[in-house]
Chains A and B, each alone.
Chain A
Amino acid sequence: MDDLGFILGSYIVTFGSIALYVASVVKRSRRAGRVVSREQRPWT
């Protein structure tokens, strides 16, 4: 398949960037979560 690199590349870019974004959201919320107690969070 001639275009395999482009096809795989598009999937790697898509799901790789989403995974990186998820990691950054989790990291930022954990950092903020150290200061805010569970009782102060409206969704818990």
Chain B
Amino acid sequence: MTPTSERNVTGTSFTRGLGIVTVLGIGLLIVLGLFVSPADVNQGESVRIMYAHVPGAWLAYLAFIVTGVSSAAYLWNRTRSLTWDRIAGASAEVGVLFMGISLVTGSLWGRITWGTYWTWDARLTTTAFLFVTYVGYLAVRGLGGSHHQRARRSAVLALLAVLEIPLVHFSVRLWNTLHQEASVAGRGTDVTMDGLMLFSLFLGVIVFTLMYVWLVLHRQRALALQDMVEDFGLDAALAARRAEEVV
């Protein structure tokens, strides 16, 4: 098969299997979240938004932490490799997607429970700030220069940006906010959530995590391909210049 006719450029048997499991998990999550899990005593049917909102926020945290760790791995001389930089970039891109999802679903949930789509609450404001920071990170990655120049400057930015995550997470404790504290992993060990609701929430977190791994694997491979294409272009330009000099 020639490269021009390929459909599955970045896939392997592992990612194909992972993709199938993820799609099945998404189907189960939608059925459980929309139809099977019970309504909440206080929030009614609106609690169904939780199964998309909370995993989205969790995945954004995870993605940005992976970006920070990969960036540190790139900056460390012993593990310096552009693969780390590409993982950082792919993870940040996926993190921005999930953070955006979390902001929008949270806004829709807020409209039902608080009566407004948006308020300058500490959690909402810090989350929006984190989102904008990583959009900026992606913009910095798109600036010109060699692959290593891109990797160095974006790694430094990622190590600064990751410091915002504790601020976002603990904002509900540091300030008086409308946003509730964590329902499951909050202070104390008592979880008062219904069993099926808790199962649906955990399923959401697992499915979103699998989806994250699938997306990052494909995206970082796509970034590697894009880097190779740029290198080929550069090599061709250098060869043309050398040919002109010889003539």
Chain A interface residues toward B at CB < 8 A: 1, 3-4, 6-11, 13-15, 17-18, 21-22, 25-26, 28-30, 32-38, 40-44
Contacts and interface: CB of A to CB of B under 8 A. Distances in A.
Residue in A10, A15, A29, A36 whose Cβ sees the most chain B Cβ within 10 Å = A10
B218 interface: yes
A11 B228 contact: no
A9 B225 contact: no
6 contacts: A7-B48, A17-B100, A21-B97, A32-B222, A32-B226, A44-B12
A9 B218 CA distance: 27
B222 A25 contact: yes
Contact of B226 (A17, A28, A37): A28
A11 B44 CA distance: 17
Interface of B: 1, 3-4, 6-7, 9-10, 12, 26, 30, 33-34, 44-46, 48-49, 52-53, 56, 94, 97, 100-101, 104-105, 108-109, 111-112, 211, 215, 218-219, 221-222, 224-226, 228-229, 232
B229 A13 contact: no
Contacts of A41: 9, 221, 224-225
Contacts, number: 105
Name B's interface SS. Answer: helix
Contacts of B218: 25-26, 29
Contacts of A14: 52, 56, 101, 105
Given A18-B97, A28-B222, A7 B229 contact: no
